[in-house]
Structure 1
Amino acid sequence: MEVVIKAAQFILSLSFLIVLHELGHFIPAKIFKTRVEKFYLFFDYKFSLFKKKIGDTVYGIGWIPLGGYVKISGMIDESMDTEQLKQPAQPWEFRSKPAWQRLIIMLGGVIVNFILGILIYIMITFVWGINFVEADGVKDGFAVHETFKEYGFKDGDKITKFNGVKPLDVRDVNKHLFLRGITSIEVIHTSGKTETLTIPENIGEIMWEKGIMQPFKVRILPIIDTVLANSPAEKAGLLKNDKILSVNNKLTPYWNDFTELVIASEGEFTIKVERNGTIKSMSLITGEGKKIGVAPNKANSLSEQHKKYSFLESISKGNSIAIWTLRDYITQFKYVFTKKGATSIGGFIAIGSIFPATWSWQAFWSITAFLSIMLGFMNLLPIPALDGGHVMFTLYEIITGRKPNDKFLEYAQITGFVLLIALLLLANGNDVVKLFS
């Protein structure tokens, strides 16, 4: 059932983004009196699930859920239909339009993506507000990865400032370290001493190469709040409010100790819990991804605050979230070009997995906003077959006054399409390998 819910959210989000992105091309094309032959959600190789012709345009739904497209007359696109280019140019064709109009038509999709992302973040901020945790809200401090202890951090540290500035949410420390160039963190040690610790400027690269994506974990008492139905935990007899004492006779003072020991187990382990003053021992076998189906009670360890925003405040805050989302995505994009990055690229399974297992409109819109920003950036890359490739050639024409010939554009489109297919196979191949490993 969890897979069905995740898949439903993914398909709904993807469909929503595809239709609006293609509308970004469709509307300016119509404004400039350019004929649009097809408007499709998903690809329709050989046949369509649905299609209907209205005016000059066939609207339809394809059967291959890898994207969508608008087919514009007189344009070399992913359809690779070059027959009409052998005929004299017609006034309604894309190739007959001035370069500035063609540029607007090609930029329309990514502009919609960015605007949509901003609008969704504004809506999320206004409707749900923002939850955050200040330094004192992490009652038992953070558990620190061994690598970061070399910089002077200690288990139980409370984080107060990033680069001398008090953060809105101290839980953002890992993201800021990886993406936003933190070079110093102020902490309060368990001894009560306040200290500012220096971090290498290339800390993001260090985290990436060593696979330390969460060097700081909030220390939460190991008390169970939720036991999922039909999970290994439920089958073993674990209950809400059980306090986990040990795994394979190793003590678990905090939840992170418990999870690390479960992950380190060989798939089967012994757990001791305290229930109503009585110690009980039971054996468990981990499920998919070394998960057993329990979640902690954070109330005694984490004090979360909530901030509501007026509509005007939401506009400013939503814009800020969208801008930082784009900046963070661009920053992490450089890691794609590393050896490790090539094996870390994810496809549809990876994207679908980020949706929650239970339906949540807040999570759905938050992920959709992120995907919209991501798709906008990806489509702007100067790769033939992407919007960015068409934009690149059009800008070249505007600057030099010379239009690339159709044969060159055709070969460029083929090259770009082959490259995209290769990336698609790599990403989804990685998903399959991870799924079975």
Structure 2
Amino acid sequence: MAKPNRQTVRDLRRNSRRAVLQQLYFNGPMSRQALGPATGLSSGSISTIVAELVSEELVEDAGTVGSDGGRPRNLLRVSPGWAHLIGVDVGETRVRVELFDLGLTELARCEHPLERGGRDVASVVRHISEGVADVLARADVPAGPLLGVGVGVPGIVDRGSPGGAVVHGQTFGWDAVPLEALLRSAVALPDGARLFIENGAKTLGRAEMWFGGGRGVSDAAIVLFGSGVGACVVIGGTVLEGTHSSASEWGHTTVHVRGRRCRCGALGCLEAYAGAEALIQRWREAGARLDPGADEETALTALIAAAYPDDPGVAPDPVAVAVLEETAEYLGAGLSDLINLCNPERILLGGWAGLQLAPYIMDSVRRHATSYALRHPAERVVIEPGRLGPDAVTVGAATLPLADFFARGGRRDEPEGEDGVVPERAGWRAAAGLRP
């Protein structure tokens, strides 16, 4: 039985503003005449909404474009300086905080290194709080126009708690951490600014789907290869998720029965073979001599240099080559599970370690992924590096308040409508190239 349409006039107006804003943001600059067919709204509605958005200075002129035999048409765009966004990447080795304008141009950044003993919740909350204040001060912008802060974290994000998002980061040493409540108490946010928490692999996926290699693709998997591995799965333009946001824990699927012990405590997880931490550990076990104090990025650079020396007179280290090839095979086998289960059109490999390794192992990863997967889905998938670089997690985190802003029709104080729109979901679908 069809559900009755309970949309109010406010809901309809909000949705119309959202449609116009999203078209201008993702496909602009555009003329008023082009907005009608793109949004399905009448010319009268477009004129009214555009006039409203221009009066609010949220939309501005962006020059003119000629028309066939007619008067030039004025172009419009979303004003990038109208508001600011902050994205936070809580990684395994550091907390990165970046401030963006509304067009997601970076205005300021800061990083706080995390030692193994500094992954406690209090330290991370302090780094985020200080980082938010720091980037606002560095860019010398007022806090008032801040739409919100998005935070990408390792682990499962449980939104079922009445106190806000709770994070279960087993490999991070976090057990049911009430991170949202802690951040709301510690971070000085202006009135109207919102706070969002999401798994880091999913924020990476959102960034790639909005602006990178996933743009225009309905079914995709975006892999975060850092100290560990995770994945964002997108089906039909929608992130595969639920209340507990656990689809990203692909790194803890079993690829070797009774295999190596993963840092989560289980045996044979993909992350025990393909994460940078495990990769370096296996190289050490094979005889590599590394400075005990070397961080993961330094150690991974040394491994690549040993396997692929710049000097043509230096022979590749066969042990380093073997470790990388084994990693490529395990990663390919893990990707074959995603291929068989989700039938993605595209798989993107991102994360700091994934981007660093991609030039050396990507061909091998593709070969192993397609050899382990079923032939039909393997033939339709494209596997390639992510396109947004190492800042993709923070960019994706910043899209969380941005998607919420769009879903509310570009109004900071707009409540959720009676149509049950979930702000993040509505903005996400449009950004993935689908009609809202």
User: Normalization by structure 1: what TM-score?
Assistant: 0.27
